[in-house]
Amino acid sequence: MATQYATFTKVGSNWAIKVPGKTSVGSRVTTRKSSGETKDVVVTDVISCSNGVTVCSFRDVDSPAPKAATKQAATDKSRQAQRNTQNRYPNRPSTPRKGGVQEGKYRSVREGKGDDEVGRVCFLKHQGNRVPVTVVGWQCEYVRDDGLSFGFPADDGWFVSSYYRDATPEEAEALITKDTAQKTAQQAKIDAAKAAEQVAMGTARAPLEGLVSCDMVETPAGNRERVGQYGERPTVTVSRITMEDGTVVYLQESYAFDDYRSCIYATPEVINRLREARLVNSPTLTKEAAEEYLAKYRGCVGTPFYEWLAAR
């Protein structure tokens, strides 16, 4: 069986050896250079081991072994590690802080350093319901590594555990009264906003009564004046356009994030004029094209225009 020699390799700026199989610190290994020269060395440290090859640092057989670290050096290293820990976690307390008792029917945990107040009455979400509860105790604890950031310095902090019991009717009365008043005020605000929107919509859409809409014609040029606006996502704006010949049409525009839609409102005669004007600049809009569109997309945007074109 052929002898397996260790070979030299670079690890960073230093030389190391690659040993077939496994080896350990202190082992004597025979190396061979590319020129064929062999030499015995001693393993001083195992750097890595994978795919059946061990990468090691080494020294010559005749070189003296490195001295063991002194006790003082180890002490200095420990002190340095302690200083680094203190710099990394400057606010880490030795013991957790507590307040009141810790027995209770409910428990919640939140981030923060603030203490809770024993006897405080509040709502707690439990099994989908808001339950009136009273604080019976709390515990404020510092967690060095909570596992969210794999132990990095930002991954530490205070966590407050609060403990509760069901509030008595007397304790919950003021809380429920205040909560009811807030809900009533919020609902009144919502109702007022809806009523205002209905008024704004009525004002904006009043001029459109009795007119015909079409969304496949170009917006005509003319003097534009806003009539009204209503809604939020989508927001609808209605404008009156007075053309050069005195004809009046209305433009309705709808915005919702990146969705924009518009259509023209006018009398049937004016709508037909606008449709005819579009055909002049669109030779591909033929009766056959309209029938093909309706066969595939009847009911989609543009259906009234293509129905008019197909019956023209």
pLDDT at residue 94, rounded to an integer: 45
Q: Nearest Cα to 123, choosing from 162, 159, 175?
A: 175
pLDDT at residue 280, rounded to an integer: 86
Least confident of 12-16, 36-40, 296-300: 12-16
**Amino acid at site 23:** T
| Residue partners of 10: CB distance under 8 A and separation at least 6 | 16
pLDDT at residue 10, rounded to an integer: 83
Domain boundaries, the chain: 7-60, 97-173, 192-267
pLDDT in tens, 207-233: 999 998 888 888 899 999 999 999 988
pLDDT at residue 266, rounded to an integer: 94
Residue 43: strand pairing partners: 58
pLDDT at residue 14, rounded to an integer: 83
pLDDT at residue 300, rounded to an integer: 86
CA distance 139 to 150: 25
CA distance 53 to 279: 80
Question: What's the pTM value of the predicted model, to 2 decimals?
Answer: 0.50
pLDDT at residue 88, rounded to an integer: 46
pLDDT at residue 78, rounded to an integer: 53
Structure tokens at 93: 């307390």
pLDDT at residue 65, rounded to an integer: 67
Residue 146 pLDDT more than 70?
A: no
Residue 275 pLDDT more than 70?
A: yes
Structure tokens at 244: 């050069």
Residue 180 pLDDT more than 90?
A: yes
pLDDT in tens, 42-80: 988 888 887 788 888 888 887 776 665 454 544 555 555
